[in-house]
Amino acid sequence: MGRDGVLPRRIFGVLHPRTKTPVFCLLLTGAVCLLGLNISLETATSFINFGAFLAFTVVNACVIVYFVRNRRTGRAKVLGYVVAPALGAVVTVYLMTRLSPAALTIGLCWLAAGFAYLVWLTRGFRRPKPELTVAQ
């Protein structure tokens, strides 16, 4: 992600000349892991679940938006593209409300930080967001 410009290239895109490893990324990951040692297992799993539930909710919402944009017709299509994803979104939002308050706070702060970084990276959405590429 550093080489694609999603994260700052000068920091995350630099490889060690001899070992060809992203040394700064490894050090940063280690530092974050050390911080994670102070979090209880319950809070850590709730934090992970917050991310998963949020992702599943957004996927369900995207299915509904896809259906509306492409104007699919038919009762079976409405059931598969609107009713089932709406029920899935309701269930995942309900499960999110059952998480610990600490996990919700951490998750929402992390989400806000990511959104703020996206706004900064795209200069207030005036530039396209960087795309990840897969090297072959």
Supply the pLDDT for residue 136: 58
Residues 39 and 46: beta-carbon distance below 8 Å: no
Percent of the chain with pLDDT over 70: 96
Q: Give the Cα separation of 30 and 98 in Å (integer).
A: 30
Beta strands in 12-126 (DSSP E): none
Supply the pLDDT for residue 135: 66
**Residue 102 burial by Cβ neighbours in a 10 Å radius (0-12, 13-18, 19+):** middle
Averaged pLDDT score across all residues of the chain: 88
Q: Helix 101-121 crosses helix 41-70 at what angle (to 10 degrees)? A: 50
pLDDT (tens digit per residue) in 90-136: 999 999 999 989 889 989 999 999 999 989 989 999 998 888 777 65
pLDDT (tens digit per residue) in 8-61: 887 787 888 999 888 888 898 899 889 888 888 888 898 899 999 999 999 999
Supply the pLDDT for residue 31: 92
Whether pLDDT at 87 is above 80: yes
Supply the pLDDT for residue 99: 92
Query: Structural domain boundaries of the chain?
Result: 1-38, 41-136
Whether pLDDT at 2 is above 80: no
Q: Give the Cα separation of 127 and 6 in Å (integer).
A: 13
First vs last Cα of the chain: how many Å apart?
A: 15
Supply the pLDDT for residue 32: 87
